[in-house]
Chain A
């Protein structure tokens, strides 16, 4: 894997940006960095951060009898982010009219069906290889469609539904984790983000008792997992420099910073 460039989850998100400059810049990074890889764990993050939001839009639009009701439900459950996603979709369609609603609903669902159906494949098609060294069970669970219902749940990891190798994977990096804890302890408080604090906590537990993989621990320390995986390649390309800018020092992997501000429309 020495010849591989890893692309972080956020790079896939930038490829879906409505900002044409940011989108083009992110896509160029993918084109210019073959042989490229993504962590299988990124699929899970994309499912949680993007596909599930689309599913919420789908469900609420399908269940509502007007745009106003759909929008209110989406805002109430998904918050501002989901409301903006609906607005972005409508803006992208152009010449959209909410009347009559049964037609407008069909139009919106057509686009959401296409996006939900394709998202998993779109992400996988962007890189040359999916790197799955700890065999994440959740990363195998594609969005499922059952008639007019999409299911994009991410269950908590339990003994009965998980066969991954995350515990031995983390065990094999104990030396790095010890260095990481020391490094994070030496950081000034303003550099310690909430995720870095969580990573430190999990690293301490892993060193003493093994990795606490049950429930949703992996999702809280995604940057740590992707950082450790990136040690197998040339570098990790990411716009998330707050965490990777610190993690790469004790964990010893190379990071290329994709600067969002510099790459977006002024």
Chain B
């Protein structure tokens, strides 16, 4: 009967194994032991030179042991998202302001100010955030669309709580598609209007002329600034 050997003759407490430093002749009485395919480096060899068995010994050398682990921690730098301290501060301020606007222990005027400041900070984020992905942008754009031209008094506490939750989600370095979907769905469920009027069908001629003029001015401004 053929016996199978996982080729791990000695196990250490840490689960690390090291090939034996000196070849061990283990051919006698063990020649029918076959290593599992894919097992670790074979160092120990029989006198005939054929690599049939491997004998491992524990790593006693602490530095080498660390080296083994360090290799596993070499994660590419790109896997991390850096959130600059200024943006981090901006996001924290945003969260603070919208949280304050829900705080019933402070006066209405102050709550209203906090709400307006929160909207201003959100607007700043649309241009300054460098790490935002499209899921961040969906939440951010929806919050701004929901609150444009509106005051705190236009919203009930339930909606404000939702704004707090959404702002908190924006603080995450990475926002997933389901997270963004969930926030948008909750905004819609709370009957918050997050659509931006962009349908030109019913525009009057006067309004169209006004929009044409505005675009002309903006392009002129851009051309001047770009030289």
- Choose from B144, B199, B208 the contact partner of A111 (Cβ within 8 Å): B144
B128 partner residues in chain A, CB cutoff 8 A: 103
Q: Chain A interface mostly helix, strand, loop or mixed?
A: helix
| Cβ contact of B194, chosen from A66, A67, A89, A122, cutoff 8 A | A122
Beta-carbon contact of B180 and A117 below 8 Å: yes
Minimal Cβ-Cβ distance residue in B for A53:
B198
Residue B202 is within 8 A (CB to CB) of chain A in the complex: yes
Determine the chain A residues whose CB is within 8 A of the CB of B225 once the complex forms.
99
The interface stretch among A13-21, A155-163, A195-203 is A13-21
Seed contacts A112-B141, A118-B195; 11 additional CB < 8 Å A-B pairs: A16-B196, A68-B222, A81-B200, A87-B214, A87-B215, A98-B222, A104-B127, A113-B137, A114-B145, A117-B142, A147-B134
Other-chain contact of A17, B140, B197, B214 (Cβ < 8 Å)? B197
Q: Which A-B residue pairs are the 3 nearest by beta carbons?
A: A114-B141, A84-B200, A87-B211
Q: Does B168 sit at the interface, judged by CB under 8 A?
A: no
Beta-carbon contact of B212 and A115 below 8 Å: no
* A interface residues, tally (CB under 8 Å): 54
Task: Say how far A33's CB is from chain B's closest CB, in angstroms.
Answer: 16
B200 touches A103 (CB 8 A): no
* Cβ < 8 Å to A, chain B residues 197-227: 197-204, 207-208, 211-212, 214-215, 218-219, 221-223, 225-226
Q: Interface digits, A239-261 against B, CB 8 Å rule (1 contact, 0 not)?
A: 00000000000000000000010
The answer to whether B215 and A71 have CB atoms under 8 Å apart is yes
- Is residue A148 within 8 Å, beta carbon to beta carbon, of the partner chain? yes
B223 touches A68 (CB 8 A): yes
Instruction: Show 27 residue pairs from A and B whose CB-CB distance is below 8 angstroms, ordered by the A residue.
Output: A13-B199, A16-B199, A84-B211, A85-B199, A86-B215, A88-B199, A88-B200, A88-B211, A90-B215, A92-B198, A98-B221, A99-B226, A103-B128, A104-B127, A107-B126, A110-B132, A113-B138, A114-B140, A114-B145, A114-B194, A115-B145, A115-B196, A117-B134, A117-B142, A118-B142, A122-B188, A122-B194
